[in-house]
Amino acid sequence: MASSKKETGLKLSVKKVRARARAAGRPLAARRPSPTPASPAPLRAQADNFPEWYSQAITYSEMIEYYDISGCYILRPWSFAIWESIQGFFDAQIKALGVQNAYFPLFVAKSALEAEKEHVEGFSPEVAWVTRSGASELVEPIAIRPTSETIMYPAYAKWIRSHRDLPLRLNQWTNVVRWEFKHPTPFLRTREFLWQEGHSAFATRAEADVEVLQILDLYARVYEELLAVPVIKGRKSEKEKFAGGLYTTTVEAFIPTNGRAIQGATSHCLGQNFSKMFKIEFVDGESERRLVWQNSWGLTTRTIGVCVMVHGDDAGLVLPPRVAPVQVVIIVIVSAKDTEEVKARLAGEAAAAAAALGAAGIRAKVDDRDNYSGGWKFAHWEQKGVPLRLELGPRDFAAGAFAGVRRCDGAKLALPLGAALPAAARAALDAIQADMLAKARAERDAHIAVVTRWADFVPALDRGDLVLAPWSELIETEEWVKEQTGPRGTAAAAAAAAAAAAAAAGAGGAAAAADAEAAEVEASKGLTGAAKTLCIPFEQPPLPAGTKCFTGSGKDAVGWALWGRSY
């Protein structure tokens, strides 16, 4: 899908530059004695090795710099600006709902963290501790927040006295640390990440239930309206929910290149579990003491990685306009035969266009560096995923229009010079935004298999599909599916494992290395790894009476569940 479109965009661009050089009557090599190569290094093809493509996509585009602590990455301005866009939207939306921002400390005392043993238990291997300052041991180690329930709720217990103190709805934008042992992936699984965590307390369950869905809706809007990534909203199974809460809702996305699902964000109703533990009580209108009902909800910098994986192609990032740090890049194409006067006129026109776009709220930039060729700049901004490129050469200028190229599909369009430019660019960006979401949605929808028999389940997964299946919601059937699709459960998994084992055993040089890479690529395509429930979608197809659970357990299905191999 992506590869052909990218190549078209790039080759045509370079061709055009070359044609202009030829028109100038000079041999190409001599045309621009450039200190830099004709184009930046190309990326590995997605189909060859998706993990390597991803790593190159995020580094060549200047989103990420690697760091010497495993699982930690530098977010450079090109990715941080996307996070700021998400923050800007989400922060304004939650404030409109009545949520306030606050900041709680990074550290949590051992006693406080362990006050709430049950919820932390399964997570404890991931908690990072500070045990020393300088050369001296701390009297009691302090943990670095992996999430802030145990930091915030003791304060909630102090602040909430009466029903007049409710609801209490606080959010914080912070970093958290979870010392993961699984293979890290920038944005998707990192030991430190940025997020917002919201924590609310209400007098009634009904109010809490409403908020859970309001927040989930905002998460869906971040993905669909900002990142152009379609998501499926639903409820987590009992096995997959946050164990400390009552129920968990989620937005689930899909990576078409490897057929993997990914959890986008979660909004939990905690019920009264935490209020019991932390004694968060209020006196109601009838002077009765009651426990508050609580929610918590979080969205992380994983959003950026999902966006990269869903939209990127063999030429690099493809950013949706709503979050692109630069939405329009303007590149003047002149050759040695052009007079200084022509060059100055075009440069002036480009600068004026960028200023007019800026004044209209469009993030535009002129790349007027004279040490890079036009072809180099085209490929560079393609790698960075800028949604719209405007070229301006003498012929374009004479015709009164920029030659526009859409990053998402390489389609060309003319945009008028002068006062009509901002409205035309706005319309083009809006169309790109809508087309990117529509394309991702069509691709996702084409990868949802409706399966009612066990025999069809693994073949669907192995085609890289998500599976929608009638399910009993019994936890033992979910565990059984995990078993069946786990490490030794499928042929692809077995082959990949064998190749990896051969390589590890030192089966010999290049062949073993190639096998190991093949195994890695297979794994990255999602053809290995156990399947689990992603969610029980809120939008349910009709379930005919008497429909049985697809696992062959003989139990009645209670609804449709979405299954997949996931990150």
Contact residues for ligand 87F, defined by CB under 6 A: 119-120, 123, 126-127, 146-147, 178, 197, 242, 266, 268, 296-298
3-state secondary structure of 295: strand
Residue with tokens 């939405």: 327
Q: How many angstroms separate the CA atoms of 565 and 567, rounded? A: 7
- The number of beta carbons lying within 10 Å of the beta carbon of residue 429 is 22
Contact assessment for residue 382 and residue 376, using Cβ atoms and an 8 Å cutoff:
no
How buried is residue 139: exposed, middle or buried, by Cβ count under 10 Å (0-12/13-18/19+)? exposed
CB of 146 to ligand 87F, least distance (A): 3
Which one, of 308, 336, 388, lies nearest residue 56 by Cα? Answer: 308
Look up residue 476 and give its DSSP letter.
Answer: H
CB of 523 to ligand 87F, least distance (A): 24
CB of 531 to ligand 87F, least distance (A): 22
Which one, of 464, 217, 188, lies nearest residue 308 by Cα? Answer: 188
Q: Which is nearer to ligand 87F, 46 or 148 (CB)?
A: 148
CB of 184 to ligand 87F, least distance (A): 15
Contact assessment for residue 264 and residue 223, using Cβ atoms and an 8 Å cutoff:
yes
Q: How many angstroms separate the CA atoms of 389 and 378, rounded? A: 8
Whether the ω angle into residue 125 lies within 30 degrees of 0, i.e. cis, is: no
Q: Which is nearer to ligand 87F, 60 or 297 (CB)?
A: 297
CB of 123 to ligand 87F, least distance (A): 3
Q: Which is nearer to ligand 87F, 202 or 550 (CB)?
A: 202
CB of 147 to ligand 87F, least distance (A): 4
CB of 295 to ligand 87F, least distance (A): 9
Look up residue 455 and give its DSSP letter.
Answer: G
Q: How many angstroms separate the CA atoms of 189 and 210, rounded? A: 30
Beta-carbon contacts of residue 271 (< 8 Å; ≥ 6 apart): 205, 245, 246, 293, 294
Contact assessment for residue 223 and residue 322, using Cβ atoms and an 8 Å cutoff:
no
In this structure, are strands 168-177 and 100-101 parallel, antiparallel, or unpaired?
parallel
Q: Which is nearer to ligand 87F, 296 or 301 (CB)?
A: 296
CB of 79 to ligand 87F, least distance (A): 22
Q: Which is nearer to ligand 87F, 208 or 324 (CB)?
A: 208
How buried is residue 402: exposed, middle or buried, by Cβ count under 10 Å (0-12/13-18/19+)? buried
Which one, of 491, 534, 539, 497, lies nearest residue 518 by Cα? Answer: 497
Contact assessment for residue 487 and residue 497, using Cβ atoms and an 8 Å cutoff:
yes
CB of 270 to ligand 87F, least distance (A): 9
Q: How many angstroms separate the CA atoms of 388 and 331, rounded? A: 11
CB of 145 to ligand 87F, least distance (A): 9
Q: Which is nearer to ligand 87F, 236 or 322 (CB)?
A: 236
Q: Dihedrals φ, ψ of 296, to 5°?
A: -145, 155
Which one, of 491, 358, 357, lies nearest residue 416 by Cα? Answer: 357
Q: Which is nearer to ligand 87F, 171 or 528 (CB)?
A: 171
Contact assessment for residue 308 and residue 58, using Cβ atoms and an 8 Å cutoff:
yes
CB of 152 to ligand 87F, least distance (A): 9
CB of 212 to ligand 87F, least distance (A): 12
Q: Dihedrals φ, ψ of 369, to 5°?
A: -65, 135
Give a three-class secondary structure readout of 392-432. ECHHHHHHCEEEEEECCCCCEEEEECHHHHHHHHHHHHHHH
Q: How many angstroms separate the CA atoms of 108 and 129, rounded? A: 9
CB of 297 to ligand 87F, least distance (A): 6
